Amino acid sequence: METKTFEAPALFADHHVTEVRRILLELTGVSDVYASSAFQIIEVKFDPEKVSAEDITARLEEAGYLGDVPMLTETGVAAEKKEGDNFFRHTATYETVKRTVSFAQRVNYTGRPLWPCPGLGAVKVEEE
54 and 80 together in one domain: no
Report for 32-41, 69-78, 80-89: range of highest mean pLDDT: 32-41
Which alpha helices (H) appear in the chain, and where do they start and end? 14-25, 53-63
- pLDDT, tens digit, for every residue of 105-127? 665 655 555 555 666 655 555 66
Domain CATH for 36: 3.30.70.100
Domain that holds residue 23: 2-63
41 and 76 together in one domain: no
Q: Could you count the other beta carbons within 10 Å of the beta carbon of residue 10?
A: 21
Q: Give yes or no for a contact between 103 and 63, defined as CB atoms under 8 angstroms apart.
A: no
Query: Measuring CA to CA, which residue among 10, 6, 120 is closest to residue 56?
Result: 6
Total number of domains in the chain? 2
CA distance 31 to 21: 11
pTM: 0.58
